[in-house]
């Protein structure tokens, strides 16, 4: 098996654009969150979110004509991919086009583009429900604009990559699943370089209301920056967010031959389903535990070698209970000694982008030997009694870290990352 390393990273999150902004917010325990003002939320129970500040795709280098045909999520992906390529030190001519691929995860793709176009075309002449006048008014960019594949295909088009191109649409595990699948393509020899990660821009009326109606979102509207509180007794749902993180994966030998800076190594990936419920989770954590155990087996590691876990930690009652139980099943007594945190408490839950952002956080944690905290952890919970690194970062030497994700339909995914010098240790 060919080994895979990470040589480039980029992120645009509610903390701001770039890795320094993300890392400073996460390690400084500075949560995002504000009232939603982009559209009317007066009938919603949840009226707050974590939004990206001051993102201007044209100022970021995209052509205005290109921006017109793209959903905001695709814009974020293209801008981030360009930044990740620069961060990796890859220049024009460094790679045969057919040996570079793109595999990015997105839970909802360009739903915002489609909803905006639908609302533009609605007419009130036939009562309150309105109707859609189908032609010739519909923007020709509507279909590719909302198509999830556009997230990856537009990145490939922009970079000129002619290798494998796929969008992973597995909901809230999409970013992690994309990274795992991209690593597998390199290991199998299908590509030398993969652009991967996750993106979602879900702040639209239909998406917000859908999550609101199933009571998945926090309703702490008066305290948006204290609203996301994973593993805390008084948690009441996640803070919806937008975000993007893109990584450059390379075959390890190639990266070292060109003298690339290496953030860390992809040690293993595993994903399983609990086949239990579309939106619910059992309290026992058995399926997630099996996923964690599978990732450890694939990496030939034992539980004692994991130094830190970045949890899914969504801040819903059922997820945090399920995840805590899974850690105890998979790690046994060792679970009580592993630092665990949820950085969704800082940057919110950006659906398919969340686990990609958290992967970047894990790589920066490996780089600096710093475990990020769980913000807003104030009141211990009987069902969640592990070490969640409350409210303050810790300096700890790190060799192996684990990033987890769980999503609707019962998908559980886990990625193990090693320090850049892990193979030599």
Could you list the active site residues?
172, 312, 349
Task: Indicate the helix (H) or strand (E) that contains 78.
Answer: helix 72-88
Q: Give alpha helix (H) positions in 127-223.
A: 142-146, 150-159, 174-187, 205-213
What does the alpha-carbon distance between residue 351 and residue 52 come to, in Å, rounded to a whole number?
Answer: 14
CA nearest to 105, candidates 293, 271, 295: 271
CB 112 within 8 A of CB 201: yes
What does the alpha-carbon distance between residue 190 and residue 176 come to, in Å, rounded to a whole number?
Answer: 19
CB 170 within 8 A of CB 320: no
- 8-state DSSP, 57: T
Per-residue b or e along 175-189, where b marks 16 or more CB atoms closer than 10 Å to that residue's CB: bbbbbbbbbbbbeee
What does the alpha-carbon distance between residue 419 and residue 305 come to, in Å, rounded to a whole number?
Answer: 12
Cis peptide bond prior to 344, omega within 30° of 0: no
Task: Indicate the helix (H) or strand (E) that contains 351.
Answer: none
């Amino acid at each position: 098996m060919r080994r895979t390393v990470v040589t480039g990273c980029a992120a645009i999150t509610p903390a701001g654009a770039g890795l320094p902004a993300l890392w400073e917010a996460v390690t400084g325990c500075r949560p995002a969150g504000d009232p939603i003002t982009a559209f009317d939320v007066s009938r919603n129970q949840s009226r707050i979110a974590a939004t990206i500040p001051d993102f201007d795709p044209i100022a970021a280098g995209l052509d205005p004509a290109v921006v017109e045909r793209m959903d905001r999520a695709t814009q974020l992906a293209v801008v981030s991919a360009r930044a990740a390529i620069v961060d990796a030190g890859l220049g024009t001519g460094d790679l045969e086009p057919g040996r570079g691929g793109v595999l990015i995860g997105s839970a909802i793709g360009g739903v915002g583009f489609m909803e905006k176009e639908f609302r533009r075309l609605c007419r009130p002449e036939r009562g309150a429900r309105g109707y859609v006048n189908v032609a010739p008014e519909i923007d020709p960019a509507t279909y590719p604009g909302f198509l999830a594949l556009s997230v990856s295909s537009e990145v490939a088009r922009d970079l000129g990559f002619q290798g494998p191109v796929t969008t992973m649409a597995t909901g809230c595990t999409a970013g992690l699943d994309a990274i795992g699948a991209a690593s597998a393509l390199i290991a199998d020899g299908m590509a030398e370089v993969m652009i991967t990660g996750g993106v979602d821009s879900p702040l639209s009326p239909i998406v917000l209301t859908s999550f609101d109606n199933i009571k998945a979102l926090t309703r702490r509207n008066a305290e948006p920056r204290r609203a996301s509180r994973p593993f805390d007794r008084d948690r009441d749902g996640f803070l919806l967010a937008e975000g993007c993180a893109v990584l450059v994966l390379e075959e390890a030998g190639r990266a070292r031959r060109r003298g690339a800076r290496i953030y860390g190594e992809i040690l293993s990936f595993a994903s399983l389903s609990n086949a239990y419920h579309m939106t619910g989770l059992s309290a026992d954590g058995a399926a997630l535990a099996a996923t964690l155990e599978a990732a450890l087996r694939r990496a030939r590691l034992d539980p004692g070698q994991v130094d830190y876990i970045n949890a899914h930690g969504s801040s819903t009652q059922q997820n945090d209970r399920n995840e805590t139980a899974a850690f105890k099943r998979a790690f046994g007594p060792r679970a009580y000694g592993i630092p665990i945190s949820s950085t969704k408490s800082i940057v919110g839950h950006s659906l398919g982008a969340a686990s990609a952002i958290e992967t970047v956080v894990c790589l920066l944690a490996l780089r600096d030997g710093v475990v990020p905290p769980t913000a807003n952890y104030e009141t211990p919970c009987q069902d969640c009694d592990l070490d969640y690194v409350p409210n303050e970062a810790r300096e700890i030497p790190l060799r192996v870290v684990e990033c987890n994700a769980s999503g609707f339909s019962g998908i559980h995914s886990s990625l193990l990352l090693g320090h850049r010098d892990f193979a030599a240790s």
